[in-house]
Amino acid sequence: MLKIEGLAKSFREGDRAHRVLEGLDVQVGAGQTVAIMGRSGSGKSTLLNLISGIDRADRGSVRIEGLEVSALGEPARTLFRRAHIGFVYQFFNLIPTLDVAENVRLVLELNGLRGAPARARSLAALAAVGLAERAHSAIDQLSGGEQQRVAIARALVHGPKLLLADEPTGNLDEQTAREVLPLMLSLAHERGATLLIVTHDEALAARADRVLELRDGRLSERRAMAPRA
Amino acid sequence: MSALRAASLRHLLRHPAQLALALVGLTLGVGTIVAVDIATASARRAFELSLAAVNGPATHQITGGPQGIDEALYVRLRTHPLKTADAAVALAPVVQGYLTAGGRVMQLIGIDPFASAELQDAGEGAPALALHGADEARDWFTKPGSVIMSAATADALGIGPTGEVELTIGGVKHPAILIVRLADAGPGFDGLILTDIVQAQEWLGSVGRLSRIDLRLPQGASGAALLRRLAALLPQDLEVQSTRASARETFAMTDAFTTNLKAMSLLALLVGMFLIYGAVSFAVLQRRTLIGVLRALGATRGEVLGIVLSEAAVLGIVGACCGVLLGLAIGRALVGLVSQTINDLYFVVAVNEVSVPAGVLIKAGCAGLATALAAALLPALEVAASTPQLSLARSVLERRSLRLARALIGVSALLALGAALTVAASSRSLLAGFAALFMLLLSVAALTPACLHALAQVLARVSATVSPVARLAFADVAASLSRTGVAVAALGMALTAMIGVAVMVESFRESLREWLVQTMRADVYVSAPGVTDSLERRLDPEVIRSLLGVPGVRGHSEARRVTVGSARGPVELDAVRLLPESYAGFVLTQGDAARAWPQFLNGAVLISEPLAWRLGLAPRGTLALTTAAGPRAFTVSGVYREYGNERGEVLMDLTTYRRLWHDEGIAALGLYLAPGVEPAATVSALRAAVRGRQALLIRSSGEIRALSMRIFERTFVITRVLYWLAAGVAAVGLLSALLAWELTRSRELALLRTLGLTPRSTALLVMAQTTFMGLAALLAAIPAGLLTALVLTEVINRRAFGWQIQLHLSVTQFSHALWLALAAALAAAAYPAWRSARLPLASGLREE
């Protein structure tokens, strides 16, 4: 489903170039849940940005379902991203000026689905995360766990093939994380989405099919598990 | 509404203060443009209506020199009418002059009601006059002093039921009686008094003469043929001109004045544009993460660009609407100032109605929208083009701003070079002059952020030795260039314009003062009241003899001012007989005085600087004027400095004038007193000598100088109003930008408080920063303002009026700019300082 070859990325800091990724290779099968671990600053978030086409690699390629996303031009990458990728962030990144349902519906509208069908689908997504009754609440009236559940609904509402989660439990207390994480995993699994999770959380990693470690700009398999039934 | 639009709109509504300040800038900018357009359009409309009322349906008019037209010509044209097989020329005689009634200068129009009615019957235009019944017609012809005016004018003059009114013409009082109040006369009749042509001739002292003959010619080939035949019949000193061309020529006199006003209003809008830029870029900055999320979720660059630009468009439309409303209000106030200036400088026009052409409103709407979109384009493009990082580091943003500020140094140099080339490549174009001026102002604005950064860094280093807090104050300004640079650039540009205008006005004032001292050689001046070049301004010869007989008067000069025709349009002619000591009053800027004056006495003319500039004349050139015997070329023997008449004038020896125009009238005297004689006492004696015979203006040279300076100040009131408006926009800009910047620093200030900075010190820190920025803007504005003053005096004034003005510098010219800079800076600091000093630290630390 996802195939990355020779991916390299460096950033300039004054006169010095800081190499984050150096010839990274990986393949992820459809429907797999993969945890990516690594020290702070090792390039985990950069990797997600390169996979999603938010950022461009210096060299190497990213293929999603055979399509070389890294070779697409900017508008095409954006259109691909909004149709096929979902995001869950550590700090939720919900739009504070929109209510809960509108936040979820936004992605559908960006994909051209409007009106009653969009409303119905976003409500269904909210119902799936247990927040149907909060559909018209303001974002700042929600708890951290609720906000992350809205983010999960938003990430999955348009049925993406690939779900990218950047420290999804990093801003949640342990109890809340224990409630949110299974929800995200099960919903991704139900929808057949491939899930890439960047995390420091060993407990979370333990529930992934594979655990990859990013070190010195390359990914190495820390543990491979048999896919869950 | 789509979720994307909702997110954008709700963000704006969640920050009402920020939104309001951005709107204030645009509103003031658009409002100023609308106000100026309304004021000038109202003056033009009043002028056109007054012409329509006076000319009626006339298509052409026959005009003559200062002595007008011999009425025998009219009789000849009536008894031998010009006609073709299918058309004829309709004609009506008119005698026109000025009078004063109830302290107001008004036009007196003498008509032949039968001929006027005939002219009206021939056309479709508005009737010039209608005598409604037999009683009125009888009064018109039998009652001496019968006049007609609009009901509004009669009410303004306070004319009672008896209809009696006193008219002063050329200093002589005449009783008149109002026989008809035109209730539905319309605004064109404001400031007009109609009477019978014979009565007008008697009052104006022009018996047997006509001011003009109005004609109505058929359209097409037959009209053109009739016009050619008519022109062939006319004596050489008369000409026939279309009324439309004549009106255009008259109103064209105000072109330079209205261009100046429009440029000032444009300045306000330009400053407003910086304000919008500041507001939009701040709104973008505030939502960088949000926009990053949208981009990550799949919003394309075009969609992000669309969001930001549509926000700006909403701002533009709302700002334009508010601006139009404000402009309507300011425009009503400006109408008085504009018409006063036109009356002072050009021609008499009564503006009693505010005219709001639809074009003005459309233009304002487009200007508001275009300004907002242009201002928003840069931040919109920047945010749309950037990689959708979710939390772009502040330092990255600031590094970008610094790079941009450095790149703008080159842009600034190019703009300055462009301004210099524009001036050099265009020798006469006023618009090119203004284009150069705006390039110069933009050059200053482009240079300011880099200068601010450099200055703040230097001061941060220097102050580090004194206190780390002082270092922080300056370093913060340098480190927040994306916010501080725009605000200081906008303020710097407004201060530059302010200093430039102040230096120009002050230099002009001083040049005028010096010129008045130089020119006014006589001790006392006597003139007949009325409009400067009107024929009826004539001193009675008996009165002149009495005046010259007053003890203490040792000599006199004489002057007659009239308007004469020339191949280049009408020009004012000042015919003078000077005493030997009077010659020194004229400073020749071109030509040699030793040769010019003898040539002058032998029939050559001198011309004033504005006329020389307007007509492109120089010594040894010739100017053809229409004398009583037809056009005649006069050699120009010199060009003299003259600030009294921006259209320019011709100076001719009185003997030459009388010989060629057969006009013996004297309009003014300059009296030279014997040594030791007090002008004030002589003025009283002169007034006593003419009392009851002719009301004259008898004033010492000191009084005339003071009056001239008062008129000068009045002329520049509107300029001052406009520049304060532009300055107001800039002050609001600084206020909003700094307020926004300081408010975003709540967390940093709270942190400083936590570390031990007292509330007072925190407030001082904020005030020091905004004051520093205000002063930095002023520092940039001083040299740029001087350069602007140079462009205003050497390019704009020269091209608009032909005047050469010496630069005069004084501290007071900069004081307004200083106060504005300080006031804006301190006002911007007040709320954040108060807030940061009182903010609960815990919540402050949580704020981002």
C-alpha dihedral, A40 to A43 to A47 to A49, nearest 10° = 80
Q: Where are the alpha helices (DSSP H) in B234-254?
A: 243-252
B166: part of which helix (H) or strand (E)?
A: strand B164-169
Predicted pLDDT at A197: 93
> What is the residue-averaged pLDDT of chain B?
80
> Three-state SS for B398?
helix
CA B613 to chain centre: 20
Identify which of B4, B295, B389 has the shortest CB distance to residue A106.
Answer: B4
Identify which of B7, B11, B387 has the shortest CB distance to residue A54.
Answer: B387
Q: Give the tens place of pLDDT for each residue, B462-486.
A: 887 776 677 778 888 888 887 788 7
CA distance B847 to chain A (A): 14
pTM: 0.65
Instruction: Identify the closest residue of chain A to B15 by CA–CA distance.
Output: A97
Predicted pLDDT at A117: 92
Give the A:B interface size as CB pairs under 8 Å.
75
DSSP code for B207: T
> What is the residue-averaged pLDDT of chain A?
87
Contacts of B289 in chain A (CB under 8 A): 93
Q: Give the tens place of pLDDT for each residue, B182-223.
A: 877 666 677 788 899 999 989 888 888 888 888 888 887 888
CA B643 to chain centre: 16
| Alpha carbons B232 and B243: distance in angstroms, whole number | 19
CA distance B502 to chain A (A): 46
Rama region for B451: left / alpha / beta (φ>0; ψ in -120 to 50; rest)? alpha
ipTM above 0.85, yes or no: no
What are A6's two structure tokens?
């020779």
Residues in chain A, overall count: 229
A25, A3 contact by CB (below 8 A): no
Sign of CA dihedral B402, B408, B413, B416: negative
DSSP code for B300: -
> Three-state SS for B190?
coil
Strands B90-101 and B212-216: antiparallel
| Alpha carbons B359 and B379: distance in angstroms, whole number | 31
Return phi, psi of residue B684, to 5°: -65, -45
> Of B726, B822, B724, B830, nearest to B773 (Cα)?
B822
According to the per-residue pLDDT averaged within each range, which of A61-65, B120-124, B780-784 is highest? Answer: A61-65
Q: How many CA atoms lie within 13 A of B763 on its CB side?
A: 13
Burial class (CB in 10 A: 0-12, 13-18, 19+), A132: middle
Mean predicted confidence (pLDDT) in A208-219: 90
Interface of A with B (CB under 8 A): 49, 52, 54-55, 74-75, 78-79, 81-83, 87, 89, 93-98, 102-103, 105-107, 109-111, 114, 154
Predicted pLDDT at B121: 65
> Three-state SS for B713?
helix
CA distance A76 to chain B (A): 9
Contacts of B307 in chain A (CB under 8 A): none
Strands B172-182 and B146-150: parallel
Q: Give the tens place of pLDDT for each residue, B291-318.
A: 778 888 888 888 888 888 888 888 888 8
| Alpha carbons A20 and B786: distance in angstroms, whole number | 54
Q: Give the tens place of pLDDT for each residue, B725-764.
A: 667 766 676 677 666 676 667 667 766 666 666 777 778 8
| Alpha carbons B40 and B494: distance in angstroms, whole number | 24
Identify which of A74, A78, A98 has the shortest CB distance to residue B298.
Answer: A78
User: pLDDT at residue A111 above 60?
Assistant: yes
Residues 6+ apart with CB under 8 A from B326: B27, B28, B30, B31, B34, B35
Contact B295 A78 (CB under 8 A): yes
Contacts of B390 in chain A (CB under 8 A): 89, 93
pLDDT-wise least confident of B423-432, B433-442, B531-540, B827-836: B531-540
Instruction: Identify the closest residue of chain A to B290 by CA–CA distance.
Output: A95
Predicted pLDDT at B848: 42
Domain A29-58+73-224: which topology? Rossmann fold (3.40.50)
User: pLDDT at residue A35 above 90?
Assistant: yes
> Three-state SS for B470?
helix
Q: Give the tens place of pLDDT for each residue, B64-78.
A: 777 788 888 888 888
Nearest 5 degrees, angle CA B568-CA B574-CA B576?
Answer: 145
Give the domain ranges of chain A.
29-58+73-224
| Alpha carbons B645 and B641: distance in angstroms, whole number | 10
B564, B570 contact by CB (below 8 A): yes
User: pLDDT at residue A3 above 90?
Assistant: yes
CA A89 to chain centre: 7
What are A106's two structure tokens?
């936004």
| Alpha carbons B172 and B202: distance in angstroms, whole number | 12
Residues 6+ apart with CB under 8 A from B292: A93, B388, B389, B390, B391, B392
A179, A203 contact by CB (below 8 A): no
Contact B299 A78 (CB under 8 A): yes
Q: How many CA atoms lie within 13 A of A51 on its CB side?
A: 32
SS3 readout for chain A? CEEEEEEEEEEEECCEEEEEEEEEEEEECCCCEEEEECCCCCCHHHHHHHHHCCCCCCEEEEEECCEEHHHCCHHHHHHHHHHHEEEECCCCCCCCCCEHHHHHHHHHHHCCCCHHHHHHHHHHHHHHCCCHHHCCCEHHHCCHHHHHHHHHHHHHCCCCCEEEEECCCCCCCHHHHHHHHHHHHHHHHHCCCEEEEECCCHHHHHCCCEEEEEECCEEEEEEECCCCC
Contacts of B387 in chain A (CB under 8 A): 54-55
